[in-house]
Structure formats: C-alpha cells, structure tokens
Amino acid sequence: MGDSKGLRVIWPPNGLKPPNHAHDIVFVHNQRSIFDWKAKDGAILPVKIGTELETSRIFGFDYDLEDARITSDGFFENDIIFGPGYDLCSKLNVVKNTDKGQIPITFVGHSVGGVIIKHALWISKQRPQLGAILKQTSHVIFVDTPHSDLTWSLWKTISAGPQRESRGCWQLWSTAVDSAQDKFRKLACYFNISSAYLVLRGPEVRILIHPKFGCQLTVIVRSFRHLLMEIP
C-alpha cells in the first residue's frame, strides 16, 4: 500500500476485491494518516470494519491539510474546484471503472475530511465522466464535520501547524467549508446522510452504515478532540 498520498485500499490487505464484493467504504480522515483511526483496543478502525464486513472493500484517502488548493472552475462560472475533493473523485472513479456492476459506496468523513467528500460528490455531479461516483453513493457519514462557519478557534483544534502559517490555510479551508455546504444542499436527495457530533455522545458511538447491509459501524473513542485516535 505504501505511504504516498491519495486513495489506497486498506482492506483486503492484498489490495484486491474481496470475494462476493458488494460494498465499498471510503474513509477520509482529518489531518492525520488513515492509520491513526484507532479503536480503544488499538485496532485500526478501517481494518476492523473490513474483517467484520467480508464483502466490503475498504479505502482510505490520504491528503496534506497544508497543501490543499482552490482553483477557478473553467467549465462553470463563479464556481471553484477544491483540489483534495477533485483528487478523491477522480482517483476513486478510476478504481470504480474496473468494477462489474454498480457497487454502492459509503463515505465516512472525520472533521474536514467530510468537506473533501462534499466537494468530491459535487464534482461527480458536474462532470459526466466522473458521474459514477455520485450515482453509486448510497450513504455519507459525517463525524464532527464543520458544515458552516469554520472559526479560527475551531481551526486551531484541527490544524497542528504554526499559527502564522496556519491562518492562510484556515482561510482557504473556511472558503471550502462554505462552498461545500451550498453545493451539498443540492445533493442531499441522492443518498442517506448521517451526521454525528461525538462530544454529545457516550464513549461508544454507533453509526448506521446502510440498512441494506444490516450492520453498524461501532467507534470506540477516548476523547472528543482525539476522535478515533490514541496519540502517544
């Protein structure tokens, strides 16, 4: 799997499709590696989910919080393209083109990872050649995702960079948050949506993946700030 940025298969470990492949789950983390999604017992959450849901293929999307870029959309006036969202959509589309039939997708976004998912789905709607991603999305799960008004105080809990450098990054991500929410309102009718704010919940949080599969994603967390993570 390597350690490069971008989309990669977390489970099965050989990177191939599981037997009787019926479902794809894509995890998009906050600012750390996908492998920092750890349960309280030390298990890597995406891997644990993969072992429990034998017909599911588990992806992780890695990106650099500080390297995100916004560009003008050359096809649609007054619109923007958020770099990480475009990368997720285009790279997942390449993989999905090798699937036989329509394999449903569940996205799980932690914090600003959810913002990337919103932009990816919007790009899929706007670009016919990438339209398979939106068409095959059955459920989107947001975990502590800022849906509007990304304040400086909240950003400081998300970003680990120096304050001076982080202010410009905050402004960029704040623009991405506001733009994503406006777009996502137009997409909400296409799939099921779950949004959880774990500060309001107990230590064990159950988030429904999709009724069709009759299963739940169980997340064990130590604290709100270090959601799914155990920082040394």
Q: Mean pLDDT over residues 34-57, rounded?
A: 74
For residue 74, the model assigns a pLDDT of 52
Mean pLDDT of the chain: 74
CATH topology of domain 6-220: Rossmann fold (3.40.50)
Sequence spans of domains, the chain:
6-220
120 has pLDDT over 90 = yes
For residue 168, the model assigns a pLDDT of 82
For residue 228, the model assigns a pLDDT of 33
Q: Mean pLDDT over residues 105-129, rounded?
A: 90
Distance from the Cα of residue 121 to its chain's centroid: 11
DSSP the chain: --S-SEEEEEESTTSSPPTT--EEEEEE-SSS-GGG-B-TTS-BHHHHHHHHSTTEEEEEEE--GGG--EEE-SSSTT-EEEHHHHHHHHHHHHHHTTSSS---EEEEEETTHHHHHHHHHHHHHH-GGGTHHHHHEEEEEEES---S---HHHHHHH--S-HHHHHHHHHHHHHHHHHHHHHHTTTGGGSEEEEE-GGGS-SEEEEEEEGGGTEEEEEE-S-STTTT----
160 has pLDDT over 90 = no
Q: Is the pTM of this model over 0.85?
A: no
63-115 pLDDT per residue, tens: 877 777 877 655 554 567 888 999 999 999 999 988 878 899 989 888 888 99
